[in-house]
Amino acid sequence: MDMTALYRISYGMYIVGAMDGQRPVGCVINTCMQITAEPVTLAISVNKDNYTHAVIEKTGLFGISVLSEQTPAPVVSVFGFRSSKEYDKYSVCSHELVQGVPIVQDNTCAGFVCRVKGSHDMGTHTVFFAEVVDAVQGKDLPPMTYEYYHKVIKGKAPAKAPTYQKEVKENQPVSTPSNYVCTVCGYVHEGSLENEPSDYVCPVCGVPKSKFRPA
């Protein structure tokens, strides 16, 4: 089976958000699709270990922010690699509450308010089916695709993403000890960090050198 064939499946990039009491929480997902027109229903796949999962289960309500190509990379990294359990992710972007769910404002193309109608247990993930109860237009910008995120932003997907695949470079060991990996977003710095200036920051998520570990 050639697993690289899976790279040919297209996705968009989204932030799914929900309210944990008075606190907005959320995470990046690429698995969001419209599955029926009447009523307008979306399906999303969320890892059970994600903090956002528990909040969606509890409240039955979530917001989808459609990210654009102009969405700042640190917003994607913070929402895609950190957990709302220990970090206030909405401090890195502006957001608006639309019918009680958070919608990210920084160059977002569109927002949807979704009420959970059902779910399916898929082992590691739950697939939520939700009716769209409100929809708002955002900035008139091209939506970010999963391919754009990988190829242009050079972003990675963590193991919790349903579409995660381990990267193996041909003719190279899986990890080269002289490389350094950002512990926040997974960006790999090829070679030592010694020659980088002391104020070097991760080009993807902006954290300092101290957040890097040998790969």
Ligand X SMILES: Cc1cc2nc3c(=O)[nH]c(=O)nc-3n(C[C@H](O)[C@H](O)[C@H](O)COP(=O)(O)O)c2cc1C
Q: List contacts with ligand X (CB under 6 A).
A: 25, 27-31, 45-47, 50-52, 80-85, 149, 157-158, 160-162
> Which residue number has the CB closest to ligand X?
80
In the bound state with ligand X, the residue whose beta carbon lies nearer, of 19 and 157, is 157
For residue 111, the minimal CB distance to ligand X (Å) is 18
In the bound state with ligand X, the residue whose beta carbon lies nearer, of 87 and 179, is 87
Answer yes or no: are the C-beta atoms of 51 and 44 closer than 8 Å: no
For residue 149, the minimal CB distance to ligand X (Å) is 6
Answer yes or no: are the C-beta atoms of 16 and 29 closer than 8 Å: yes
* CA-to-CA separations, 17 to 147, 179, 192, 202, 213, in angstroms, rounded: 22, 34, 37, 25, 30
Strand blocks (E) in 38-152:
40-47, 61-67, 95-98, 101-104, 108-122, 125-137
Cα angle value 188/190/29 (rounded, 5°)? 15
CA dist., res. 215 & res. 212, Å (int): 9
In the bound state with ligand X, the residue whose beta carbon lies nearer, of 153 and 193, is 153
For residue 122, the minimal CB distance to ligand X (Å) is 11
In the bound state with ligand X, the residue whose beta carbon lies nearer, of 2 and 86, is 86
In the bound state with ligand X, the residue whose beta carbon lies nearer, of 3 and 198, is 3
CA 184 to chain centre: 13
For residue 31, the minimal CB distance to ligand X (Å) is 4
For residue 125, the minimal CB distance to ligand X (Å) is 6
CA dist., res. 204 & res. 78, Å (int): 10
